[in-house]
């Protein structure tokens, strides 16, 4: 079974530039999560989707971050414009349904904003 | 707001020794998860604990949950170098997982 796929794996941009991350969850998984992980810390949830619906986006900085999950499968997370403090690893995870099912994480996108 | 605290944050131990990592959380929850993360890699699920008194074991790792004390432990038995990694606990916070800061474990020969 293929795991969660993310691209790109690495991205270096200058501040104020836009950036987008893509996630393909495990086939059949209805719930998709985007997390941000700062160096030396645990992941922090940005947004949770159940199928196409964003059911928890309370931690998403809506002034510059946006996300979508068209057709309830792939998802894209966008930052526009990026700031220096956005440098982090962005992780996508999926699960068959929500908790208590465990989540399966992708390899992440490592973003560096210069 | 649910807070999850792990200790220690850094742990260096010798091969063959035993040790316990602790995960405390601040509000009621019956569901707790342990993950492992190798450097530069993503998170791998280790254990899912879904009730008070739950105990699960896999190889040299054993996890337990005491919901009344709001405490989970991850016990390492006879550590080996391959266990070197960062271990995270995460608590169900109303349908979302809230992670601790992680315990960075180094096992030395």
Domains of chain B, each with CATH number or no CATH: 4-108 (2.60.40.10)
User: What local confidence, expressed as pLDDT, does residue A101 receive?
Assistant: 82
Binding-site residues on chain A for chain B (CB distance < 8 A):
40-45, 48, 55-56, 91, 93, 98-100, 102-108
For B33, which residue in chain A has the nearest alpha carbon? Answer: A102
pLDDT tens-digit map of A5-58: 999 999 999 999 999 999 999 999 999 999 999 998 999 999 999 999 999 898
pLDDT tens-digit map of A91-105: 999 998 877 888 999
- B34 in reach of chain A (CB within 8 A): no
Q: Which residues lie across from A32 on neighbouring strands?
A: A49, A94
User: What local confidence, expressed as pLDDT, does residue B29 receive?
Assistant: 87
- B92 in reach of chain A (CB within 8 A): yes
Residue A81 DSSP label: S
Tokens 């709001």 sit at which residue?
B70
Q: What is the DSSP string of B66-82?
A: ETTTTEEEEEE-S--GG
User: What local confidence, expressed as pLDDT, does residue B4 receive?
Assistant: 96
Cβ A100–B45 below 8 Å, yes or no?
no
Question: Which residues of chain B does A107 touch, with a Cβ-Cβ cutoff of 8 Å?
Answer: 41-42
Pick from A41, A56, A93: CB nearest B101: A41
Rounded Cα distance between A33 and A6, Å, is: 12
User: What local confidence, expressed as pLDDT, does residue A70 receive?
Assistant: 84
Domains of chain A, each with CATH number or no CATH: 5-113 (2.60.40.10)
Could you tell me the sign of the dihedral formed by the alpha carbons of B62, B31, A1, A106, in that order? negative
Cβ A102–B45 below 8 Å, yes or no?
yes
Question: Which residues of chain A does B96 touch, with a Cβ-Cβ cutoff of 8 Å?
Answer: 45, 48, 56, 99
């Amino acid at each position: 079974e293929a795991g969660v796929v993310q691209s790109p794996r690495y991205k270096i941009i200058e501040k104020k530039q836009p950036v987008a991350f893509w996630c393909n969850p495990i086939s059949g998984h209805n719930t998709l999560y985007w997390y941000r992980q700062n160096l030396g810390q645990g992941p922090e949830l940005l947004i949770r989707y159940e199928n196409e619906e964003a059911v928890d986006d309370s931690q998403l900085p809506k002034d510059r971050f946006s996300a979508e999950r068209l057709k309830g499968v792939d998802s894209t997370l966008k930052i526009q414009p990026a700031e220096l403090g956005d440098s982090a690893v962005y992780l996508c995870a999926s699960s068959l349904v929500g908790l208590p099912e465990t989540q399966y994480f992708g390899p992440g996108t490592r973003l560096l904003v210069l | 707001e649910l807070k999850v605290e792990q200790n220690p944050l850094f742990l260096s131990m010798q091969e063959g020794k035993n040790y316990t990592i602790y995960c405390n959380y601040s509000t009621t929850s019956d569901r707790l998860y342990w993950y492992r993360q190798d450097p530069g890699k993503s998170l791998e699920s280790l254990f899912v604990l879904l009730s008070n008194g739950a105990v699960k074991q896999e190889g040299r790792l054993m996890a337990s949950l005491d919901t009344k004390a709001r405490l989970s432990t991850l016990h390492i038995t006879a550590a080996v170098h391959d266990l070197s990694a960062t271990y995270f606990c995460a608590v169900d916070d109303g349908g979302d997982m809230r992670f601790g800061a992680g315990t960075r474990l180094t096992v030395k020969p």
